[in-house]
Chains A and B, each alone.
Chain A
Amino acid sequence: MHFLKLVLRNALRHRLRTALTVLGLVVAFLSFGLLQTIVAAWYHGAEAAAPNRLITRNAVSLTIPLPLHYREKVRAVDGVKAVAVANWFAGVYQDPKNFFPQFAVEPVPYFSMYPEYRVPEEAFRAFLRDRKGAIVGRKLADTYGFKVGDAVPLKGTIFPGNWEFVVRGIYDAGEAKTDTSLFFFHWDYLNETMKQRQPLRANQVGIFVVEVSDVERAAAVSQEIDKQFKNSIAETLTETEQAFQIGFVKQTEAIVIAIRVVSFVVIFIILAVMANTMAMTARERFREYATLKALGFAPRYVAALIFGESLAITAVGCAIGIGLTFPVGGWFASQMGTLFPVFEVSENTVALQIACAVAVGAIAAALPARRAARVRIAEGLRAIG
């Protein structure tokens, strides 16, 4: 009781100094939370992956396609339940900065493998009837105002020319981590058009999405698929969807690592600020600490006063910082549109913020607390405070 009273009153002694320190802490922990959330959003695709889905791609590079006729051989492998072809389209909607992923897929097998993309039955039938039809995610539709019946023109990059699509349905998220920023259309439409425009590039597949009947056998099925195409002109690499997504993210990992480093640099800077504040504070109170020790209080009581004050200040700064991470993160997500399909402050991020706050509070207090605890009473009493 008395201890807490002393800690809190000490913390409020220099209101301006404490307020500025808390402000710094708030900014630091808010920035840290946002940067960590960006990192998490980056890896989000891997987290949303299902264990029963495999991706078969060209072993040399993701950018080199596979022949369409592989599909039958893949389907024939024991343990394979379904196969769907898919191509990354990379079209531009109006302006290159309007980025959202587009996939040409085989509708029936693909959507049955991804039950988390919830498409109303009626809309799905309309989509199947229209070869230029498209299914778009809720977040994507909200961002660009797409409605069922709208025409969406895309300018091809990998597949040159202008492409016209009509929105036939909007899918919703089946789970919290489901990405609803995607755009799907008929792989047949892509392929037929390519037959006319560039016949040599027809019948080529970016990836095969494979559903296995038994998750336990996923690894064996992967090996078996790749074995089919050993020593052929286009060898395959089959991995779980999660491994595939991680590999995809790895291409941009340098940026993620940089963001991560920056987030910890921010914490390090606030640690330096906090340590300076605590050192200054403790130095001013040396006489008081010496007096307490003269009265018989143990050195660890004096040290605890400094630790308590440091932790109390960081706790307040961190709590406000965490509290602000949610609304600011929400605003940030709305500004980023579909760049980050899922931008949510996770429990992990909050736990990391708290852990950093405890570390900052404790480390900042360590040196001043040690010095105050060890101050020789006779000398501390001489100090003019």
Chain B
Amino acid sequence: MRDQRIVEIRNLSKSYQRGGQIVPVLSDITLDIASGEFVALMGPSGSGKSTLLNLIAGIDKPDGGMLRVAGIDIAELSESELADWRAEHVGFIFQFYNLMPVLTAFENVELPLLLTRLTSGERKSHVETALAMVSLSDRMEHYPSELSGGQQQRVAIARAIITDPTILVADEPTGDLDRASAEDILNLMDRLNAELGKTIIMVTHDPNAARRARSLRHLEKGVLTADRS
């Protein structure tokens, strides 16, 4: 499993249209990520890190090149096929957590399971396990507004892993947190990778965070440059 390529990217390009002008964001990206890796994508702001991550996670579409994730050419999928694919294969961790403010921690974590066939009893035990894993068993009935930033991000991580996805994508997961909370989150991600073998792709511009990853890629003006393994 370890050496199986979970993400295969060949000559991928992406540009945006802005005010009638075409702005190239990613050009000729070629990248492989093996199953069980923990990759950090670094680079200055505006270099296209989020764009690349969004393509891999199937929430944006490339202009050209090949993009295969978990053996599927996701650039070829229709919108609704892609939605199903994401629900099954991708766990999202966002910079601003993106929890539903009207749902409790428990309900937020349960959300992705509503798209599965699990019974409510099964969902309950899954959610409790996930929240225990992020040490929030005592905060299940709390709303996001009643939790600290670090706690909210832990709820978001529980939500991301609840369906046991193929890859976890994290866009600046510590970008909005103080140092201590950031450490907590990084420790948690480290454990998910080391103990549960989760494949994690993390975008960050924080060197502290990047250091925790097992491999590092640099993105500079839409082009992958040096890497360290």
- A-B contact number at CB 8 A: 60
Q: Given A377-B60, A378-B54, are A295 and B100 neighbors across the interface (CB < 8 Å)?
A: no
The answer to whether A291 and B98 touch across the interface, beta carbons within 8 angstroms, is yes
Chain B, range 59-118, C-beta contacts under 8 Å to A: 59-60, 79-80, 83-84, 86-88, 92, 94, 96, 98, 100-103, 107, 110-112, 114-115
B73 to chain A, nearest CB (A): 19
Q: Given A377-B60, A378-B60, are A298 and B102 neighbors across the interface (CB < 8 Å)?
A: no
Complex partner residue of A296 from B86, B96, B102, CB under 8 angstroms? B86
Q: Given A293-B83, A295-B92, are A13 and B102 neighbors across the interface (CB < 8 Å)?
A: yes
The answer to whether A6 and B60 touch across the interface, beta carbons within 8 angstroms, is no
The answer to whether A295 and B87 touch across the interface, beta carbons within 8 angstroms, is yes
The answer to whether A298 and B60 touch across the interface, beta carbons within 8 angstroms, is no
B152 to chain A, nearest CB (A): 13
B55 to chain A, nearest CB (A): 9
- Is the C-beta of A288 less than 8 angstroms from some C-beta in chain B? yes
With both beta carbons as reference points, the residue of chain A lying nearest to B83 in the complex is identified as A296
Query: 1/0 per position for A1-44, CB-CB distance to B under 8 A?
Result: 01001100110010000000000000000000000000000000
The answer to whether A295 and B102 touch across the interface, beta carbons within 8 angstroms, is no
Residues of B within 8 A of A378 (CB): 50-51, 54, 59-60
A2 to B111 Cα, complex, angstroms: 9
B96 to chain A, nearest CB (A): 8
The answer to whether B59 and A377 touch across the interface, beta carbons within 8 angstroms, is yes
Complex partner residue of B98 from A296, A297, A381, CB under 8 angstroms? A381
A284 to chain B, nearest CB (A): 11
B102 to chain A, nearest CB (A): 4
Residues of A within 8 A of B79 (CB): 299
Q: Given A294-B92, A377-B59, are A2 and B114 neighbors across the interface (CB < 8 Å)?
A: yes
Chain A, range 285-305, C-beta contacts under 8 Å to B: 287-288, 291-299
| Tally of contact residues, A, Cβ under 8 A | 21
With both beta carbons as reference points, the residue of chain A lying nearest to B171 in the complex is identified as A381
B86 to chain A, nearest CB (A): 5
The answer to whether A297 and B102 touch across the interface, beta carbons within 8 angstroms, is no
A280 to B51 Cα, complex, angstroms: 28
The answer to whether A294 and B59 touch across the interface, beta carbons within 8 angstroms, is yes
The answer to whether B102 and A6 touch across the interface, beta carbons within 8 angstroms, is yes
A294 to B92 Cα, complex, angstroms: 8
Complex partner residue of A287 from B59, B98, B102, B107, CB under 8 angstroms? B98
A296 to chain B, nearest CB (A): 3
The answer to whether A10 and B86 touch across the interface, beta carbons within 8 angstroms, is no
With both beta carbons as reference points, the residue of chain A lying nearest to B54 in the complex is identified as A378
With both beta carbons as reference points, the residue of chain B lying nearest to A374 in the complex is identified as B79
Chain A, range 262-294, C-beta contacts under 8 Å to B: 287-288, 291-294
The answer to whether B100 and A6 touch across the interface, beta carbons within 8 angstroms, is yes
Query: 1/0 per position for B6-28, CB-CB distance to A under 8 A?
Result: 00000000000000000000000
The answer to whether A296 and B115 touch across the interface, beta carbons within 8 angstroms, is yes
A21 to B84 Cα, complex, angstroms: 37
The answer to whether A288 and B92 touch across the interface, beta carbons within 8 angstroms, is no
A294 to B98 Cα, complex, angstroms: 11
A242 to B54 Cα, complex, angstroms: 71
Residues of B within 8 A of A294 (CB): 57, 59, 86, 92
A291 to B111 Cα, complex, angstroms: 11
Residues of B within 8 A of A13 (CB): 101-102
Q: Given A2-B114, A291-B98, are A298 and B80 neighbors across the interface (CB < 8 Å)?
A: yes
A378 to B83 Cα, complex, angstroms: 13
The answer to whether A381 and B94 touch across the interface, beta carbons within 8 angstroms, is yes
Most buried by A among B83, B92, B107: B83
Residues of B within 8 A of A6 (CB): 100, 102-103
A297 to B57 Cα, complex, angstroms: 15
Chain B, range 32-66, C-beta contacts under 8 Å to A: 50-51, 54, 57, 59-60
A345 to B14 Cα, complex, angstroms: 63
Residues of B within 8 A of A5 (CB): 107
**9 nearest interchain CB pairs?**
A296-B87, A9-B102, A377-B59, A291-B98, A378-B60, A378-B54, A296-B86, A296-B83, A295-B112
Contacts A/B (CB < 8 Å), 30 sampled: A2-B107, A5-B107, A6-B100, A6-B102, A9-B103, A13-B101, A287-B96, A287-B98, A288-B101, A291-B92, A291-B94, A291-B100, A292-B100, A292-B111, A294-B57, A294-B92, A295-B86, A295-B92, A295-B111, A295-B112, A297-B83, A297-B115, A298-B80, A298-B83, A299-B79, A376-B60, A377-B59, A377-B60, A378-B50, A378-B54
Besides A291-B100, A293-B59, 11 other A-B contacts (C-beta < 8 A):
A2-B110, A13-B101, A287-B98, A291-B92, A291-B94, A294-B86, A295-B86, A296-B84, A296-B87, A298-B83, A377-B59
| Residues in chain B within 8 A of chain A (CB atoms) | 50-51, 54, 57, 59-60, 79-80, 83-84, 86-88, 92, 94, 96, 98, 100-103, 107, 110-112, 114-115, 159
